[in-house]
Amino acid sequence: MRTGLMILASGLLALSAYAQLRDVPPNHWAYQAIRELTRLRILEGFPDGAFQPNRPVTRAEFAQAVARAYRVIDERIRQLEQRINQIAPESPAAPQPSPLEARVQELRQAVQELQQLRGAVETLQRLAQEFETELSNLNVSVRDLRRDLDALSARLQVEERRRNRLTGDALLAVFGTHSYDGRSALTYNGNAINPSGKFLQSVGVLHELGLQVDVPVNARIDAKATFIIGNYLPYTRDAARDADSLNVNTGAYTFGATDVAIWEAYITLPMELFGREIQAQVGRIPLKLTPYTLQRIDPDYYIDSVRYDDGAFRADGARLTTTLGGMNAELFLVSSYGVRSNTTRFFPIRFANHNASVNASVDQMAGLRLQYPFRAFDAPANVGATYLTAGVGRNRTFDHILNTVRTDVNRAEVLGFDLSATFSDLTVGFDYAVSTLLRGDNRVVGSRNTAFDVRVSYPFNERWRGALGYREIGPYFVAPGNWGRIGYLYNPSDLKGTYFNTSYQVADNLSVVLAVDAYTGTAKLPFNSGYQGRDRVRRIQLDAHYRYNPRWRFHLTYENVGWEINSLALNNQRGKPEWNYLTLRAVYQLADDTELSLLYQYINTDGKGVALLSGGPSPAGNRAGVFATQVGYRF
């Protein structure tokens, strides 16, 4: 028997600190298993830290490894049981820990540890049968650890249903802008700042109360709903319109009266269809697929409301999910027309990129999402496919910057494919999508309407991680996804090029992230209608996150965007526009459930002769500032 076998088997069952793969080359047959098990802290090598994968191992040595692993896992189960007793006492009269959010987080961590231990326990039970004699000689009495894990899992499920299901949050924020030297600028939200120069000339107060109800209807059916009272939704209004920033109504953000809205409300229940069990969600449901097919744009970069940061649209209808021979299938049929509050329709689904859009939002949509996990060359992989079709209303137009392509678009389709795989520490991904605009059954826009993205990411060590990718976005690709932002322009299009991002943990309390984009025009449109090969765009963004102490956190962001326009695509104007944004956010933890946030952003943009890329109302230059203060409370 080879030590490689010991690595694959007893390695599942032995606790490890951080072993070094010093003598296991990346092309070794056991490398993938050793690396994964080491990461899970359930594998150790020989006393010197080596693994010696080709060294013969005796049956007695292997039995000792199994026995040692049994003791380690048995101890971990006992420790986990003690943790569950602390956060979920068996006696209803026992005091319940608080606050609720910390308790729920502890439960989630316990569930994750249960899932990791379950695979190790199953392997141990099989090995114990093979080495029953040797284990008996070592005075190891093998118990049914799977029974213990199942009992703990049942405890957690009961606690999840027993815990308080009514939670909420309250937000109070002051948002305002001011100008420098009588100049204006466009904010991240595409709003023009008043050039009066007065520091407090455009201030508004935002408030919102959210109530979340999550209750079990019975043993198999759950109901969830979120109710909102406030003026934040009227403030954001049609947030998705930011994708069409070159044609945006710069006065769209307003501070309105208090509103009442149902953010989401649905039940989750199992049902049987054609002899197969299906999970169903019915009501106002969250809907999110992939960045190039269906994913919502963040509606606001200044007010930090976690509820709206999940990237999911809300729509009325149903979603059915099931598994077909190892393939996960999701079918949905929804309408977004009725997703509105008393005063506004919030977060409509709109087909758009940063310079082209269908001038109406979706009324109804149906789609199918398939995902199939598999192993390629002994590496985990996943392939997915998405199709959706949407009605966008009658007599709609599809506009490109200064050129109306066609009119009367009333239907849109998106077809997407995605693939991801992890080889050793290297993760690769690929996305391809095509959007088609139709009038009835006839294609209106069916060319120059594709996008693809290929990327790789790699953790160089525990502190340093990087990713490199290449994407190409056609000028008429208008899927309702979210694939990026440049300054206040969302979802860049008519461009192709590379992007790079890296993160580094400088210290336990300090991390930095660097993102670099470098694009050229696709040259798919005439020389006076779209970016050409001689046109260039580059973007650099640097983020630093620092935790001063348990209560104070600081976030600093600098973004620089520059163009080199050599064609006649932008009103026959050439130049090298440049935008700069400097943002500082400080967050103070007033209590375990209360935070104070202070933000200031300095904006300096200059179109340098290209009016459409001025970054503000004046082609000669725009300078202004944004400030926001908020207090958030969760209960």
Structure tokens at 122: 């199953």
pTM: 0.75
pLDDT over 50 (residue 536): yes
Q: Is the pLDDT of residue 29 over 80?
A: no
Predicted local confidence at residue 440, as pLDDT:
85
Better-predicted residue by pLDDT, 292 or 21: 292
**Cα(440)–Cα(410) distance, rounded to whole angstroms?**
7
Higher pLDDT, 17 or 104: 104
Looking at residue 63, its pLDDT comes to: 61
Residues 507-529: what's their mean pLDDT?
A: 94
pLDDT per residue as tens digits for the range 377-401: 878 899 999 999 999 877 777 876 5
How confident is the model at residue 19, as a pLDDT?
A: 37
Each residue of 324-365: pLDDT tens digit?
Answer: 888 999 999 999 887 877 777 788 888 988 888 887 888 999
Q: What number is the average pLDDT over the span 623-628?
A: 93
Name the band, by pLDDT with cuts 50, 70 and 90, for residue 173.
very high
Mean pLDDT of 55-81: 64
183 versus 583: the higher-pLDDT residue is 583
Higher confidence at residue 114 or residue 314? 314
Whether the predicted pLDDT of 509 surpasses 60: yes
- For the segment 510-519, the average pLDDT, to the nearest whole number, is 97
Strands 259-273 and 578-591, sheet pairing: unpaired
| pLDDT of 632 over the 70 cut | yes
**pLDDT 10s digits, 611-621:** 889 998 888 78
Quickly state the pLDDT bin for 419 (edges 50, 70, 90): very high
CA 538 centroid distance within chain: 24
Q: What angle do CA 393, 398, 403 make, to 5 degrees?
A: 160
- Averaged pLDDT score across all residues of the chain: 80
The pLDDT of 424-436, averaged and rounded, is 94
Q: How confident is the model at residue 200 (pLDDT cuts 50, 70, 90)?
A: low
To the nearest whole percent, how much of the chain has pLDDT over 70? 71
**pLDDT reading at 15 higher than 50:** no
Q: For the segment 91-128, what is each residue's pLDDT rounded down to a tens digit?
A: 544 444 445 555 556 665 666 666 666 656 655 555 56
Residue with tokens 């030590």: 3
Residue 322 or residue 154, greater confidence: 322
Q: Does residue 373 have a pLDDT over 60? A: yes
User: Of how many residues is the chain composed?
Assistant: 635
Q: How many CA atoms lie within 13 A of 200 on its CB side?
A: 2
* Per-residue pLDDT at 518: 98
17 against 393, higher pLDDT: 393
Q: How does 83-106 read in b/e, with b if 16+ C-beta sit within 10 Å?
A: ebeebbeeeeeeeeeeebeebbeb
Task: Say yes or no to pLDDT of 250 above 60.
Answer: no
Domains in the chain, CATH or no CATH each: 3-162 (no CATH), 166-634 (2.40.160.10)
Q: Please classify residue 381 by burial: count the beta carbons closer than 10 Å to its beta carbon, then call 0-12 exposed, 13-18 middle and 19+ buried.
A: middle
Say what angle helices 100-130 and 145-162 make with each other, to 10 degrees.
160
pLDDT at 139: 61
What is the predicted pLDDT for the residue at 242? 47
What does the pLDDT read at residue 313? 93
With 80 as the cut, is the pLDDT of residue 546 above it? Answer: yes
Q: For position 588, what pLDDT does the model report?
A: 97
What confidence score (pLDDT) does residue 66 get? Answer: 59
Task: Find the mean pLDDT for residues 558-567.
Answer: 96
- Residue 46 confidence (pLDDT): 47
What is the reported pLDDT for 149? 67
Which residue has better confidence, 156 or 291? 291
- Label residue 129 by pLDDT band (50, 70, 90): low
Residue 325: partners with Cβ closer than 8 Å, 6 or more residues away: none
Is pLDDT of 446 > 70?
A: yes
pLDDT of amino acid 416: 98
More confident residue, 126 or 323: 323
Helix axes 100-130, 59-87, angle to 10 degrees: 160
- Share above pLDDT 90 across residues of the chain, in percent, rounded to a whole number: 43
Question: Residues 493-498: what's their mean pLDDT?
Answer: 96
CB burial of residue 110 (10 Å; 0-12, 13-18, 19+): buried
Average pLDDT over residues 477-498: 92
The pLDDT of 558-579, averaged and rounded, is: 94
Report pLDDT for 125: 58
Q: What confidence score (pLDDT) does residue 49 get?
A: 47
Beta carbons within 10 angstroms of residue 218's beta carbon = 7
Angle of CA points 345, 206, 340, to nearest 5° = 10
Average confidence (pLDDT) over 19-29:
47
> Most confidently modeled of 254-263, 373-382, 491-500?
491-500
